Each structure stands twice: as structure tokens, then as C-alpha cells.
Amino acid sequence: MKPDVFFAGVDSNERETAISEKALELFRAGDFSGCFKKGDFTAVKVHVGEFSNNTFLKPGCIKGLVGELLALETKPFLTDTSTLYTGRRWNAIDHTVLANEHGYGIAGLGIPFIAPDGLFGTSEISVKIDGELNKEVFIASDIVRCQSILSIAHFTGHIASCAAATLKTLGMGCSSRKGKMRQHSALKPSIKKTCTRCGECFNYCPAGAITIDDVKANIDENKCIGCAECVAVCRFDAVKYDWGTESELLQKQIAEHALGVVIGKKGRAAFFNFLISMTNDCDCFGRKDMFQIADNIGILASKDPVAVDKAAIDLVEQAGGEKMDKLIGHRGLNPFYQIRHAEKIGLGSSDYNLIKI
């Protein structure tokens, strides 16, 4: 049976309150309340937008959804993991402050923002999966421990995966730093000149691959096992990885980590894609007024993360009149690697019923 994907159109001039009401209509039409039980610790996975970014999904657009979770007597919390790059979202403290500045917190939505992967993105749980690339993936501890998830994805383009929606929100956005590095990098790390010789990487390296000389730390590639523990503990952005991982491999990794997020939450997760303010790059870019690839389209919601992303890409390409790679200005990228691989590993179906509300 094809999974249902519910859709509500949104005009470019609609206010946040109207968008919030439409999202709530989808929640009720899709009977998503059954995914959330009284007393659940419910992760509301969001992206608060990097500092200086002004095209991120505004918190007012999900106020109705948060209110519905509260009415169901769950214990919802806004959440997102730390980034690998140095910025306002690379640790829990700065991330939480930025989230509240952007309206993602108690003052804006009535529930707290809580980083699920600890102060430095290293609080993780190894989740067993039956993937093509991985038999275990490293997911943020509190994402694994919570009982249910409401995934809120802001659809955008992406410089490596072409499209960023629910699968990326789950796979990349719910992984620990180690999980993120596994997705992004296929090669061994090296130490940059910015190294302060603090010794943290030496202390935590499980393979004994790191030594420290009079200038900086060094990594023995013959001993390195690629675990990414060094990047997880480095506080000075001194560990360098090759970010040139092929898009297909990256997208497959995203799909397998997304599986690790939801594998223990069958029937306890709902997935929303907001196809508004859609920019050519993701909300991690700290730039104002980024280029928009299409006018506002609407909101999609489903209990199937693959179906909701396939529907999103289909609608965006129809509205833009071009394939995703051309819309975002990165020709040759193919967003369907993640869709096909997610379907192959049993995460969901790319075939769907679109139900307009």
C-alpha cells in the first residue's frame, strides 16, 4: 500500500499564523496524534538557522504543531545537534542562545531548546542497523532515548546532497559529531597549523595514532581507524578532513543514519516538510537573503520519511520547471541517490498518494 503524503498549499504572502494553522490542519487530517502518547519525551527536530541567516523557517510557522503536542500531554522539546564547523551552533551553549534569539525556545514557542548530543556533540549512542555502508551508526543520545519525534524540515537546496529535507534533517541533524564525520569524510584526518597542542586528541584517540611534537599534534595514517574522535574533542577547529566525499556516498550515508534515528520508533514519528522560503543552499549558511529557487509551494506531512521527501522534490521541480541541480546552480548533482538508497534499506517508499487538504 502506498503511504499517504498530505499537502496544504501556501502562498508567498501568507503570514506565519496562517502557515501554522495549515500545518495543524495537516496534523489532524493525517491522524498524527497516534504517534504521540501522554508522557512522551517528544523531540521536535528543527533547524534554528545559522547566525545572520534570515531565510530559515520561522518558529511561528510551527506554533500550532507545538501546541498540539502540549495538548496531547507529551513533553516536547525543540532540538538540533551541534555542527562540525565553527560557528554559533557548534556547541550546546552557543546553539541554545542562538535558538532563543531566533525564537526557538520558551519565549517564542513555550517549550525549551535542548541539544540532544551534549555540550560538544559527543553524547551519542551506537545504533545497530543493517545498512550497505554501516552496521552501526552514532546518533545523539537524547534522540535515541526520547519516545517520539516530530521532524520539522525546511526544504532547501544543498551543495553536496542537492536537496535537503527530511532525510537530511534526520540523518545529519540527529547524528553526533562522530556520525556527521562518517557521513562527510571518506579519508583520514590531519592536524592543521591552528593546533594548540592541548593534548585532548592524544588523550581520546582509541588507536594510539596521535603524537604531539614541539609544533602541533600529528596523526599516523597507518594507525588511524577513521573514528573521528579527534574532531569530536577538538575545541580549536584544528582537525582537517577531506570534505570532497562524492555526493552519492554522502547521500547513502545520510539515509543510513536516518534509519538509525527512526529504527526504534516505528509508528512514533511524523515528518513535515515546509516548502517555503526555499533557498539554493541550506540554513547552515550565515548569509542574508539567499537566492530562492521557487515561490512558496506549501507543507507536506507523512508518516513515511522517504515518501515525504520524494513528494517534496517532485513538487519543487514541477514548480521551478527544472531539475533540482539546475535550480540550485550545482549541475550534475542528483537528489535521488538518498531516496533510492533509503527505499532500498527499508526506510520507506518513494511511491506515494498525495492528498491535498
Contact 200, 233 (CB under 8 A): yes
Q: For 248-297, what is each residue's pLDDT tens digit?
A: 999 999 999 999 999 999 999 999 999 999 999 999 988 899 999 999 99
Residue holding cell 552501526? 136
Minimum mean pLDDT among 61-70, 128-137, 236-245: which range?
236-245
Q: For 203-238, what is each residue's pLDDT tens digit?
A: 988 779 999 999 999 999 888 866 667 877 888 989
Question: pLDDT category, 124, cuts 50, 70, 90?
Answer: very high
Spell out the domain ranges in the chain: 4-183+246-356, 188-240
Grid coordinates in use for 181?
Answer: 564525520
Return the pLDDT at 189: 83
Return the pLDDT at 159: 84
CATH fold of 4-183+246-356, please? Rossmann fold (3.40.50)
Q: For 150-207, what is each residue's pLDDT tens digit?
A: 999 999 999 889 999 999 999 999 999 999 988 876 557 899 999 999 999 999 887 7
Contact 338, 167 (CB under 8 A): yes
Enter the CATH code of domain 188-240. Answer: 3.30.70.20
Return the pLDDT at 226: 63
* pTM attached to this predicted model: 0.89
